[in-house]
Chain A
Amino acid sequence: MTKSSAAVSVRDLRKSYGKLNALDGVSFDIERGETFALLGPNGAGKSTAIEILEGYRDRTSGEATVLGIDPGHGGLAWKAQLGIVLQSTGESGNVTVREQLTHFAGFYPNPRRVDEVIAAVGLEAKEKTLIRKLSGGQRRRVDVALGIVGNPALLFLDEPTTGFDPESRRQFWELIRSLKNEGTTILLTTHYLDEAANLGDRAGIIAGGRLIDIGTIDAIGGADARVPVVRWVERGVRREQRTSQPASLVAALVRENGGVELDGLEVVRPSLEDIYLELVAAYEHPAPEPTPVPDPTPAPEPVEGPDPSTSSATDLSKENAR
């Protein structure tokens, strides 16, 4: 596959502000029609990366193409193919929802119908309301509507559902799935890992300006990170154990317990959120090198997944201390 066929292609992207390396050599591709979730803690470089791709910031070095064009030199025809939902907006909003959408639709050569967009974000009842009179979540829906009204080939969503109630978030997910079905390529950043898991085809995790993992949603973190966890309560103490044979473990535990049901039993497959937290924690507190140099301070336990073959139960305090 040639580079020009990817919707977004990034190679060794770097951005420094003085001595701070906001992006320290990031590479990834987003194929056409794909939904790619960029995850990472605050200040990790997600927004810097997305704003370079949107053409808002210049990169320090590295290569980037967005729809085959260098985003540092994208013209109006290039912008007409993009939909951008920025992270935060605070415009005075002295126009109504319908006025604003109709106005913005006019900027694009092949816009969506305004009625359809208003319905898609669920603002039919508010279409004649001034934007400044809407609630935070409703204004965010206007942002999303403005991002899709131009019928973009590539949609950037920078934390799109901040301030949404759970029901609005589900509606928004439906909207994004319908855009995916129409072939829209989507680059999403979000703090909601369930959102990334529900919408994303692949995810990249950024921490400290580096891409620490990338892969399909169901493979990220590697197979080890996905080993199920069995949790139960034994004599008032919460226990947990990771095993690739959870059913056998539960059967063995019940046998040991004299055939009596276990208290607080659950078998959990780590969610994307669990895996993400482990990856980021492992990056921020790397395991000490296996060298004989003694460390005077007790290093925090790495929160890596233990070997699946191990059978020793671990205390939950570590888990909770995170």
Chain B
Amino acid sequence: MTAITIPSLPAGRTLRLGGSRIVNEVRAYFRQGDSVFFTFLFPLVMLTIFSTAFSNQSFGTDASGADVSAATYYLPGMLAAGLLLSGLQNLAVDIANERSDGTLKRLAGTPLPVVSYFIGKIGQVLVTGAAQAALLLIVAGLLFGVALPTEPEAWLTFAWVFLLGVTTSAVLGIALSRLPRTGKSATAVVIPITLVLQFISGVYLPFSQLPEWLQNVANAFPLKWMAQGMRAVFLPENFAAEEPGGEWNLVGVLIALVAWLIVGLVVCRLTFRWIRKDS
């Protein structure tokens, strides 16, 4: 008998399988009722509550002296929260569950490249995050009368803050998925983290009203920078005066998000395993 030969695999399959994973992931995501509510619709629900509850209040005036409505004021924060929920919260809980319920073990026994799996997860976050942002913008514009920006530069800023924010958030979610010990504890571990971040990062409470030490804590985390980037897009120019340093500081947004993206990638590279061997 001859020795066994293992035929090599065709090139280019990592990207093809990544695409196939995205389709599979997005399909499964929208069939999971609780994830659709707690990550996909949650920012929309919060925007609706805030816009309705504070509909008679003014949140300041723009350069022409017109009142800024609650919906306008809260839209950037909800967009930023959506990035955090669709990316970090969704993936940290999802992957912890997949580790616990045997999905990762099954995939580990197939010739699926790990990179294709990551492409699938990040692709799912991009697709669902974009759909979520579009839904928020449509509802804000049509239902709550928010005047969306018309200048291309604003949308260009939106595009890079969105893409960088959602990618960073997704990568951090993959990194954080190692933290919960079981799938059952995943939401209990992850949701408090994202909830606290939302409260200290200017999503629900105006950032300028937080004490300085709390602002400094928030500065260390990415959500504050995503929210700031979104405010730069959707709030009147004169609102920049309320930001720390009196400016939108988009360079700071860029640096903070890229730094967190690198941290996330390094942690993923060092800690991600299909399964816990010998556990």
Residues of A within 8 A of B (CB): 1-2, 4-5, 7, 17, 32, 54-58, 67-69, 76-82, 84, 86, 88-92, 94-95, 99, 103-104, 106-109, 130, 146, 150
- Option from B4, B28, B31, B103 in Cβ contact (under 8 Å) with A7: B4
Question: B residues 82-141 with Cβ under 8 Å of A?
Answer: 97-98, 101-103, 105-106, 108-113
- CB of B20 within 8 Å of the partner chain: yes
Alpha-carbon gap, A17 to B112, bound state (A) = 30
Query: A90's closest neighbor in chain B, by CB?
Result: B101
User: 8 A-B residue contacts at CB 8 Å?
Assistant: A5-B3, A90-B101, A92-B97, A92-B101, A99-B24, A104-B110, A107-B110, A109-B10
Residues in B with CB closer than 8 Å to A68 are 3-6
B277: which of A56, A108, A150 is its contact (CB, 8 Å)? A56
Contact (Cβ within 8 A) A86 B105: yes
**Given A32-B1, A86-B102, A94-B31: A77 touches B97 (CB 8 Å cut-off):** no
Q: How far is the CB of A82 from chain B (nearest CB, A)?
A: 7
Are B24 and A54 within 8 A (Cβ)? no
Task: Tell me if B6 and A2 are in contact (CB < 8 A).
Answer: no
Given A1-B1, A77-B6, A108-B111: A17 and B28 interface contact (C-beta under 8 Å): no
> What is the distance, in angstroms, from A185's C-beta to the closest C-beta of chain B?
10
B181-223 vs A, CB cutoff 8 Å, 1 = contact: the mask equals 0000000000000000000000000000000000000000000
Which residues from B are CB-within-8-Å of A1? 1
Q: Is B245 located at the chain interface by the 8 A CB criterion? A: no
B interface residues, Cβ below 8 angstroms from A: 1-10, 16-17, 20, 24, 27-28, 31-32, 97-98, 101-103, 105-106, 108-113, 275, 277-278
Q: A5-B4, A77-B111, A99-B27 are in contact. List 6 more A-B contacts (CB 8 A).
A: A4-B4, A5-B2, A80-B6, A81-B6, A92-B97, A106-B17
| Contact of A79 (CB < 8 Å), options: B3, B10, B109 | B109
- CA of A80 to CA of B17, assembled, Å: 14
Q: How far is the CA of A80 from the CA of B7 in the complex (A)?
A: 9
* Residue from B20, B98, B113 having most chain A Cβ neighbours under 10 A: B20
Closest-by-CB residue of A relative to B116 is A107
| Contact assessment for B8 and A82 in the assembled complex, using a CB-CB cutoff below 8 Å | no
Cβ B111 vs Cβ A80 within 8 A = yes
In the bound complex, residues from chain B placing their C-beta under 8 Å from that of A77 are 6-9, 111
Q: Is the CB of A58 within 8 A of B277?
A: yes
